[in-house]
Every structure is written in structure tokens, then in C-alpha cells.
Structure 1
Amino acid sequence: MVPLKGRRRYARPVDGADRITARVETEELLIEAVKVVRSTDTYLEGHFPKITLYPAIFLLDGIRQAVGSELSRSPALATHLGLGGSEEETWLELGTLDSARVLRPMLDGDELRLLIRVSAGRPGALRAALDCRRADDAQVAKMTVELVQGGTS
């Protein structure tokens, strides 16, 4: 795809969550996103021979999408990021991956709960800490990332 005069264009990303809830608590945005791993999802076809294995990299996009969709709930965090009071979904990009640890495989049928704690980071950035758990409450991954304002979609 050819950029249009300095504007970035993006392909439609994988859906990072099946459902999202969020609330503001003090100076943080607390998000719970749920994603069910399905072997029938086309993006998983052929990812790993004879077994559906959810790629951990998709958790990063799940964080990015969930925070972008719920950021308008926290005007203070939106302002810290440099945005106005828009009610629209915000396109965020990964600034840095500060830490990532995958503790268990994420398999077909697993319901993943992405518990994301969002706070102000350095100027123009947000810090998002992920605690990812299966429906049986077993922790499968934890990550800390920096999110920054993205281009246009």
C-alpha cells in the first residue's frame, strides 16, 4: 500500500477481544477484555502443526485495541496522551515492550481474560500492565508496555 502524503494506512487487525469492560479508578483505567481461542479463526490456521496455539504477539495487539477502545472513559489519560476529549476509538501503537512473560500455552477453547491496568507514563505515553488469565484463573502471561498515539487507520 502506498502512503498518502505522510499519512499511514493500516490493514484491519485481528480482533483482540470478544468483549471489553472498563472502569476508571483513581488515576488508572482498569480494563477487562475477554478473548476465546478458536481453532476456526482463520488467522490461526497453520500457525502450529496439528494444534491450535494462540500467538503471544496477539496479546500485544489485544492490549493496544482494548486501551484504544476504552481510553475515552479517562479524560485525564487521554489528555496525558495528547488527545482531546474525543468519544471515538483511539488508534494506539506500541511504543516499547518493557517486559513480557508467557507462562502457559493458550490453546483452542481457552477463554483468556486480559486484565489491563493503564496509567500515565512519560509525557505523551501510557503505561499498560497486562495480567492474562484463563477461565480457571491460571495466569498464562504478563506484560508491561508503553502505548503512544498512532497514525490514521
Structure 2
Amino acid sequence: MNPVNRRFAAPLTAVDTDTTVTGEAGGIGSGGTRVEAVKRIVADDPYLVGHYPELTIYPGVFTIESVHQTVRNWAARQHGESTAVELAAIASVSFAAPLYPGDTMTIGCDLTPMDTPSTPSTASTASIPSTPSTLRVKARCHRADGALAARMTLVVRLRTPHPGGAEGEAGHVPA
């Protein structure tokens, strides 16, 4: 099995549809990129069974995975299907309202390179090297009724395989 394919919560499909709203073709410009996605919470999805039996809710960790898959789908379109998006850090996360079966969650992600002045390091991200392939992801997830379900800031690294099997950072040519 290709190790690139095991870097996410398979077989969970945490995003139904996604689209790039703003940004430069071929990558992230200095102004960043906006990516949006939709996830429908379906009652008979196997991962909801038992979470919680009397009041089923979409798990918070799956909300984080929905944001991660949104970024992965964007990276696959921009840099190729074999691009890996590694979750380097969860700088912050806050869950504000539950997501129930039948709800539709909209995900809005603002992607900015970590090497820009507008993305200062915090204590939780200071040890992560800033490169053009390290991105800060600020996400807000809303229910269909407009209620904020979650907000988070993630740090991800983009890696693309190079000929011969070695991996490198997206946009970088190996020496």
C-alpha cells in the first residue's frame, strides 16, 4: 500500500463537495486562498453508531478531519493527486454547537503560507519551520441554520513524491 494513502482517516469521507473560492491558479498567493466544503451528516453512517446512543452527534475529531480533507482535496487539485497534506499542529480548536444527523456543515478554510508576515508563530507552532509548503489553515464550520459549530487553526505541510520515490515539499525541486 502506498504510504501517502494512509495519512488520513480512511475510509471516512468527511467532505461531500468542495471548491476553491479565491486564490491564484497553481498555488497560494500572498493574499492566501479560500476553500469551502460541505459535509452532510447522515444518520446511518457507521461512525455515528454509539456516539452517543441517546443523542447522536458528529464527533469533534471528525470535524477536524473534515477540515483536513478539505485542504487535502484542494492540494490534490493544485499539486496533483499524490500530494500528501500532513497535519503538523492543531494550534487551536473550539467546538461551539453540536452537529446532528440531518445537519449540513459548511466549512470555510483560509489558507496562508506560514512564511508571510501576517502569520506569526504562536507557542504551539513556534517549533514548526516556516516554508512555502507549510500552511496555516483558519477554519470556521457552520450548521445550515447559521450557527457556528467549530472554529480552528491548523498547521499543515504539503509533500509531493518525486521521481524515484523520495518525498519533498510542494513546489520545491530536490537537490
Q: Distance in 1 between matches of 2:146 and 2:76?
A: 29
Gaps of 5+ in 1: 75-85
Cα distance, 1:125–1:111 mapped onto 2, change above 3 Å: same
Which structure has more RCO (C-alpha within 8 Å, separation ≥ 6)? Answer: 1
Q: Distance in 1 between matches of 2:39 and 2:82?
A: 19
CA contact (8 A) 2:4 2:82 kept: no
Q: Distance in 2 between matches of 1:100 and 1:89?
A: 28
Match of 2:141 among 132, 150, 153: 132
**Structure 2 residue 28 is the aligned partner of structure 1 residue 24:** no
Give the secondary-structure state (helix, strand or coil) at the position aligned to 2:42: coil
Q: Pairwise mapping of residues 3-152 of structure 1 onto structure 2 (< 5 A)?
A: 10=6, 12-25=10-23, 27-71=31-75, 86-88=79-81, 90-121=83-114, 122-123=130-131, 124-149=133-158
* Deviation readout 1:102-140 (Å, 9 max, x if unpaired): 011111111100111111012141110111111111111
Q: Distance in 2 between matches of 1:58 and 1:118?
A: 20
TM-score (norm. length: structure 1): 0.78
CA contact (8 A) 1:69 1:90 kept: no
Q: How many residues align?
A: 137
User: Higher Cα Rg: structure 1 or 2?
Assistant: 2
Gaps of 5+ in 2: 24-28, 115-129, 162-175
% same residue = 28
What RMSD, in angstroms, separates the aligned Cα atoms of the two structures? 2.5
Q: CA deviation at 1:151?
A: 8.8
Give the secondary-structure state (helix, strand or coil) at the position aligned to 1:16: coil
Moved over 6 A (4+): none
CA contact (8 A) 1:69 1:89 kept: no
